[in-house]
Amino acid sequence: MLESIANQHLKGWLDGVVVLLKPDSVRLCDGSETEKEELTAQALKTGELVELNQEKLPGCYYHRTASNDVARTEHLTFICTTDRQNAGPTNNWMSPEDAKAKVGALFDGAMKGRTMYIMPYVMGPIGSPYAKIGVEVTDSIYVVLNMRIMTRMGAKALEMLGDSNNFNRGMHSKGDLSVDRRFILHFPEENTIWSIGSGYGGNVLLSKKCLSLRIASFLGRKEGWLAEHMLIVGIEDPNGKVTYVAAAFPSACGKTNLAMMVPPESMKGYKIWTVGDDIAWMNIGKDGRLYAINPENGFFGVVPGTNMKTNPNAMLTMQKNTIYTNVVLNPEDKTIWWEGHDESAPEKALDWQGNEWMPETLDADGKKVKGAHPNSRFTAPASQCPCISPNWEAPEGVPISAIIFGGRRAKTAPLVYQSRDWQHGVYVGATMASERTAAQYGKQGELRYDPMAMLPFCGYNMAEYFKYWLEFGKRMTNPPKIFHVNWFRQGDGGNFLWPGFGENLRAIEWVVNRCNMAADSTKSGDNADETSIGFVPKASALNTSGLEISQENLAELLRVDKEEWLQEVENRNEFFKQFGEDLPKEIKEEQEKLKKNLG
C-alpha cells in the first residue's frame, strides 16, 4: 500500500507510524465518492453511523460519541516545545522527549486489529499561496468522513504536496477512549500532532483547532502571517459595495450566527456573505492590506438553539450531506431533534446517549433531561450555505477592513467602540473577556479573560503573541481598524438592552461606515465621540429606523461608566500578572493610558 506513495518524506514518516501503531491494514484515502460510500456502508454495519431519513435528510447520518468524550479536553491538551518558556503561562506543557516516551507507549500497538486510514488534506483553497498541507492517520471512519467535509481531502492534496517535506504530521487513534489515557499533543517545532483516546471533533479532526490554530499560530509567527480564531464575513451595502470584516468571540457569543446573519427587514438592500465561521488565516497583500482566507471547507457547528429564527442559513446548510453528532434520534422515522428546534420534540425518542427519552423526562432533581448534548454538532459542507460568499475560495483571500473583538458583558463594555489605532486595538483584543451573570452558572460578575478568543488555541507564549500582533501592525501600510462589540449589555433589572441577532447589523453598519469614511477615522468625526476607551458612536449615528428602542436604553448601551472601567483596569492587571516581565511595554502603556483617561 505505502509503496504507491511517491513522496519519500511522507512514505518515510508513514513507515515509522505503521511500525508503532501496528494496524492490521492500511488505506490511503483518495477523497472519492466511491470511497465515501464504502466507508459509510462499513460504519452503518458496525453502528458507528446511523442512516437518517434519506427523503427528508438526503446524505445525512447520525453518530454518538462515548458519553465521556463530548467536548475538547483542554486539561489534556499540551504544547510540547523544547523550552517550557515558549509554551508560556497559559498552556499546558510537556517536553517533547517526555511526551513521546509517555504517549508513544500508548500509541504502541494501538491499531492492532484495526485499519489505519491515511488522509492527505489541504487547508485553504486548492492552489492558494496561503494554503497548507496536512496528513492525518486515524483508526476512525467517523473522523475520515468528517475530514472529507471539513477539509479538501484526498488525491488533490497529495498532488499539491508533490515531493515537498512541508506538511503537518498528524497521528490519531481512538485508543481505548479512556480519559485516563487521552492526550492531545502539539509539537510546533516539528509541525506534528499526536492525539489519542478521544473520538470528539476538536480533539480528533486535527485540521481544525490543532493545525489551523495551535500549530498555525506558531508557523504564522515564524513565516509572517496570522492564524486567528475568527469568522470572516462580507457586508454588502445597498450600493453593492462589499466590506469584509473578521471577528473573534469566545464560545457561546454567537460567532456562527454573526457569520450567517440575516439583515433585519428595515435594512433593505443589505446582504451578508459568509466566508468562514471559525478560523481566519491572514496575510499582508502587496497593497499593504490584510487578506484573509478560511482554511476550512465545512462547518462544525453547535446545534442546540439553532432554528429558522436564530440562524436560518445554518438550518438550510444542514439539510443534506450532513453528519449529526449527539443530538436526539427519532428511531421511528429516522429524523433528529434538539433543544431549540423549530418543531416540537418527538414524543418518544433516543437521547444523545442512546437512552429512551421523552420531552418530559426528569432527572433525580426533578429537572428536565436534555435530549441533545449541549455541545452536539453538525458537520456540513460550507458550499451548501445559502449565503456563502462568491469569494470564499479566492486564493488570495478577501481584504479585511475591520477586526472586531467581542465578549459577553452585562455591564462595562458599550455596544460597539473603535480603538484609536493598532496598538490600542491590540490592547482591546488582549483584554477581551466574558462575564457571567447571576442567571448563568458561576459567580455573578466573574470575568474570564480570553485574549483574541485564543486562550485555548495559541500555540506559543501568549506574551510573545501580543508582541507579534504589535509588530505585525507596523508591517501594513493600510491596516484594518480594530473594534469591540458587546451584544449582551443589561439594564439594572437584568434585561438585555439590545435585541441581538440580525439587528447586530446596525452596529456592524457603524463599523463599516467608520472604515469607509472619507474623513480621517482616527479622529472622532461627526459619527463618534472620543471617550477614555476609544471612539463610541453618537446615538444619532446608529441606524435605529424600524427598531423599537428607547433613547434611555440606547444611551445606556453606549455609556462609558468611570467606576466600572476603573474596576475593569484592576481586573486586567490581575490577569496580566501571570505574564510577568514578558508582557510587552506597549500593553502596559495602554493600560496606564486608560487609567489616566478615566481620571
- Residues of this chain, 214-243, that bind ligand SAT according to CB under 6 A: none
- Look at residue 72 and give the partner it binds from Mn ion, ligand SAT, none, a contact being a CB closer than 5 to 8 Å depending on partner kind: ligand SAT
- Look at residue 208 and give the partner it binds from ligand SAT, Mn ion, none, a contact being a CB closer than 5 to 8 Å depending on partner kind: ligand SAT
Q: How far is the CB of 209 from ligand SAT (least distance, A)?
A: 5
Closer of 231 and 536 to ligand SAT (Cβ): 231
Q: How far is the CB of 278 from Mn ion (least distance, A)?
A: 4
Does position 208 interact with ligand SAT (CB under 6 A)? The reply is: yes
Is position 387 annotated as part of the catalytic site? no
Site string for ligand SAT, 150-189 (x = CB under 6 A): ----------------------------------------
Residue 581, classed as helix, strand or coil, is: helix
Q: What distance separates the 2 farthest-apart alpha carbons in the chain?
A: 72
Q: How far is the CB of 162 from ligand SAT (least distance, A)?
A: 29
DSSP state of 379: E
Q: How many residues bind ligand SAT (CB under 6 A)?
A: 6
Closer of 72 and 174 to Mn ion (Cβ): 72
Q: CA nearest 484: which of 521, 534, 446, 527?
A: 534
Start-to-end Cα distance in the chain: 71
Site string for Mn ion, 259-298 (x = CB under 5 A): -------------------x--------------------
- Give 190's contacts (C-beta < 8 A, 6+ positions apart): 96, 169
Site string for ligand SAT, 46-75 (x = CB under 6 A): --------------------------x---
Q: How far is the CB of 68 from ligand SAT (least distance, A)?
A: 15
Closer of 21 and 70 to ligand SAT (Cβ): 70
Catalytic residue from among 253, 385, 387, 458: 253
**DSSP H/E element including 231:** strand 231-236
Cα–Cα–Cα angle for 549, 550, 555, rounded to 5 degrees: 105
> Is 366 buried (19+), middle (13-18) or exposed (0-12) by CB count in 10 A?
exposed
Which of 132, 148, 152, 209 touches ligand SAT by CB under 6 A?
209
Closer of 278 and 296 to Mn ion (Cβ): 278
Site string for ligand SAT, 498-537 (x = CB under 6 A): ----------------------------------------
Site string for ligand SAT, 187-206 (x = CB under 6 A): --------------xx----
> Is 82 buried (19+), middle (13-18) or exposed (0-12) by CB count in 10 A?
exposed
Closer of 116 and 280 to Mn ion (Cβ): 280
Q: How far is the CB of 434 from ligand SAT (least distance, A)?
A: 14
Placement of cell 522527549 in the chain: 97
> Is 357 buried (19+), middle (13-18) or exposed (0-12) by CB count in 10 A?
buried
Residue 417, classed as helix, strand or coil, is: strand
As given in the structure block, the three cell numbers for residue 512 are 463599516
Distance CA 483, CA 428 (A): 8
Q: How many residues bind Mn ion (CB under 5 A)?
A: 1
In three-state form (DSSP H/G/I as H, E/B as E, the rest C), the secondary structure along 240-288 is CCEEEEEEECCCCCCHHHHHCCCCCCCCCCCEEEEEECCCEEEEECCCC
Closer of 174 and 572 to ligand SAT (Cβ): 174
Closer of 13 and 457 to ligand SAT (Cβ): 457
- Residues of this chain, 284-323, that bind ligand SAT according to CB under 6 A: 300
The residue number with the shortest CB distance to Mn ion is 278
Closer of 378 and 417 to Mn ion (Cβ): 378
Q: CA nearest 76: which of 97, 99, 96?
A: 99
Does position 483 interact with ligand SAT (CB under 6 A)? The reply is: no
Q: How far is the CB of 284 from ligand SAT (least distance, A)?
A: 27
Q: How far is the CB of 255 from ligand SAT (least distance, A)?
A: 9
- Look at residue 132 and give the partner it binds from Mn ion, ligand SAT, none, a contact being a CB closer than 5 to 8 Å depending on partner kind: none
Full DSSP string of 166-218: --EEEEEE-TT--GGG-EEEEEGGGTEEEEES--SHHHH-TIIIIIIIIIHHH
> Is 320 buried (19+), middle (13-18) or exposed (0-12) by CB count in 10 A?
middle
- Phi, psi for 186 (deg, rounded to 5): -120, 130
Q: Which residues lie near ligand SAT (CB under 6 A)? A: 72, 201-202, 208-209, 300
Q: Which residues lie near Mn ion (CB under 5 A)? A: 278
Which residues participate in catalysis according to the annotation?
Answer: 253
